[in-house]
Amino acid sequence: MSEPLLEVRDLKVRFPTADGIVKAVDGISFSIQPGETLGVVGESGSGKSVTFLAVMGLLDLKAAHVEGQIMFKGRDLLAMGPREMSQIRGMKISMIFQDPLTSLHPFYRVGQQIVEAIRVHREISKRDAWRQAVEMLGRVGIPKPEERARQFPHEFSGGMRQRAMIAMALSLNPDLLIADEPTTALDVTVQAQILDLIGRLKDEFGASVAVITHDLGVVAEHADDVMVMYAGKVAEYGRRDDIYYRAHHPYTWGLLESITRIDQPKTERLRPIPGQPPSLIFVPSGCPFHPRCRHVMDVCKTEIPPLLSEDGRHSSACHLSLREKERIFAEEVAARA
């Protein structure tokens, strides 16, 4: 395996608050290979967005304590000064966000906003930057890009705005594109288009992608690796097929079962995961998922399950034995999903 583009080692992000310390990210490690796509899946508050805000250097360091290493092309982003970091941010690593309706500045023309992104990092004339911005808008599938570039964000539909965000993010040909819930705020019909667009442009630009989502269905098609997060920890991590066809963690099973399938006859109701995501201040003892787990054992309540791998690739943090995991998956999960 080649040198990973991004390698995060034992990342911890803590927010001290009046009520206690919020352990938003509690010691996670993962890596992204050049040209590959990582899907990061978890509920709200599982720490998935915070992890990548840390990668972007967008966390307010007055409010957050960040520990660990974020190695990008062999250099630790956490050890960089703000000036050096802003060279990488937007240029080498760029990010698109959940809500395209509010992510573009309402007072500036869409073209201008892309021009600004280009000219922060590249010394080219406004005219050339504008030409480039128009070209990018065309490449993300916006019709009549010359005209559209002169419009304001409110004149764009939601899907078009997300396309414009993608155009902006890719305008400097970054090595890594982080997409934080890129389709959550969009119409279902537009979601697939945006995901396909990201998948296609990734290959065209030769970039790696991290897609953050709460919906396993979103990353089913495009991800190479999938990381499932729960309560700031990695619950399960592996190649896509490991997660979809050989999942080992009860939380992943829950996520798989709650994917809506419309291509199969409606035989059973969706089975939601019971309970609420845990507080990140008073994390449950032992396995953080144990209060909601259908297969909970005594050991789960006292001991934190380590993230263990059976084959060096596919790992999960669960006290169940491998045989049990395989049996339950085959009998309960695969039969339904």
Tell me whether residue 154 or residue 266 sits nearer to another protein (CB atom). 154
The site that binds another protein (CB under 8 A) totals a number of residues, namely: 27
Binding residue (CB under 8 A) for another protein from 103, 132, 315, 316: 103
Binding residue (CB under 8 A) for another protein from 120, 281, 299, 322: 120
Residue with tokens 């414009």: 164
The reply on whether position 107 binds another protein by CB under 8 A is yes
Other Cβ atoms within 10 Å of 131 Cβ, number: 15
The reply on whether position 150 binds another protein by CB under 8 A is no
Contacts 24+ apart (CB under 8 A), 126-132: 132/171
3-state helix, strand, coil in the chain (%, to 5): 40, 20, 40
Burial class, 143, CB count within 10 angstroms (exposed 0-12 / middle 13-18 / buried 19+): exposed
The reply on whether position 30 binds another protein by CB under 8 A is no
Contacts 24+ apart (CB under 8 A), 294-300: 294/250, 295/250, 295/320, 295/324, 295/328
Given the rule CB under 8 A, which of 104-112, 139-147, 269-277, 297-305 is the region that contacts another protein? 104-112
Cβ contacts of residue 248 below 8 Å, gap of 6+?
Answer: 236, 314, 316, 318, 320, 322, 325, 326, 329
> In 122-187, which residue ranges form alpha helices assigned H by DSSP?
126-139, 145-149, 158-170
Cα(133)–Cα(145) distance, rounded to whole angstroms? 9
The reply on whether position 270 binds another protein by CB under 8 A is no
Tell me whether residue 87 or residue 309 sits nearer to another protein (CB atom). 87
Tell me whether residue 142 or residue 185 sits nearer to another protein (CB atom). 185
The reply on whether position 165 binds another protein by CB under 8 A is yes
Q: Which two tokens stand for residue 199?
A: 């998948």
Tell me whether residue 90 or residue 145 sits nearer to another protein (CB atom). 90
Cα(196)–Cα(35) distance, rounded to whole angstroms? 15
End-to-end Cα separation, the chain, in angstroms: 32
The reply on whether position 79 binds another protein by CB under 8 A is no
The reply on whether position 86 binds another protein by CB under 8 A is yes
Tell me whether residue 58 or residue 297 sits nearer to another protein (CB atom). 58
Minimum Å gap between C-beta 13 and another protein is 16
Return the residues of window 304-333 that contact another protein according to CB under 8 A. Answer: none
Tell me whether residue 166 or residue 247 sits nearer to another protein (CB atom). 166
Binding site for another protein (CB under 8 A): 56, 58, 82, 86-91, 94-95, 97, 99, 102-107, 116-117, 120-121, 152, 154, 165, 168
